[in-house]
Amino acid sequence: MRIATWNINSITVRIDRLLAWLERSGTDVLCLQELKCDAAAFPTERLREHGYEAAVHADGRWNGVAVLSRVGLTEVETGLRAGPEFDGKAEPRAVAATCGGARVWSVYVPNGREVGHPHFAYKLRWLAALKDTVAQDAAGERPFAVLGDFNVAPADEDVYDLAQFEGATHVTDVERAALEALRGTGLSDVVPRPLKYDKPFTYWDYRQLCFPKNRGMRIDLVYGNAAFAGAVKDAYVDREERKGKGASDHAPVVVDLDA
DNA sequence: ATGGCTGTCCAGGACAGA
């Protein structure tokens, strides 16, 4: 089974690219983030025509997540249990489904904006709620994974130049400690291989030639439990999808599982 | 072997992204 995660940065403007990529990659299960649409605008019919069911959690201009599957889709759950609010609102940033024998969460972790900003505290609360939500499945026997845009680079080598991130979000000790606590529930980082260069970056800013210069970050992650990680045959970042006009600023991370 | 931001909402500019 081929399973992937991709921050698509608007499913509306990239639906043709999405359908072409699904066909080209042969992906069975895809976790999507940053849909930037509401539930009514989600392209359910076009995906169904291509053989994919969808579990969607979206409410408009920002955020929005989904799980697409052509190998079955059951037990849909929307939102974290006891998830925190920002500005009095629970944003659509997490959705789970069971697909082809594996249970997956598609997550879009809050950005944090700046260290010390209320959004940064929200990010840490959100990651703590994610840990509590997934702990039971992480410790279970069924293949289970949390996939998505974590908005944290787990280690120094996951950014192109640490000096550029002095005082910035995404690389702080507290954010990394929150990921470590999440892994502590029984999850391990399924690190993909890059198709070019030495590091498996998954995001490159649109500005200043970051992609051609490979000034990237690894922030789109796959955290799998023992049953999931033990079934991994291969994992890679599909940087080809980051190329060309109309690309998302994130590339898909693709994982191949036995059976 | 690719691109110097981009998408959304609302009407040129703010806001968010990371």
List the A203 CA – B5 C1' distance (angstroms): 14
Beta-strand relationship, A65-69 and A29-33: antiparallel
Nucleotide nearest to A242 (CA to C1'): B2
Rounded-to-integer distance, Cα A225 and Cα A248, Å: 28
pLDDT surpassing 80 at residue A197 = yes
pLDDT in tens, A40-50: 999 999 999 99
Segment A138-147 mean pLDDT:
98
A140 contacts A181 by C-beta, under 8 angstroms: no
CA to C1' distance (Å), from A231 to B18: 32
Among all strands, which nt has the closest C1' to A33 (CA)?
Answer: B17
pLDDT value for A5: 98
**What domains can be seen in chain A, in order of their start residue?**
72-248 (3.60.10.10)
Span CA (A107) to C1' (B2), Å: 30
What is Dmax (Cα atoms) for chain A? Answer: 47
pTM here?
A: 0.97
- pLDDT of A59 > 90? The answer is yes
Confidence grade of residue A8 (pLDDT, cut at 50, 70, 90):
very high
* H and E: helices and strands count for chain A: 5, 14
The pLDDT assigned to A259 comes to 73
What backbone phi and psi angles, to 5 degrees, belong to A46?
-65, -35
pLDDT at site A194: 97
- Closest residue to B17 (CA to C1') is A111
Alpha-carbon gap, residue A106 to A159, rounded angstroms: 23
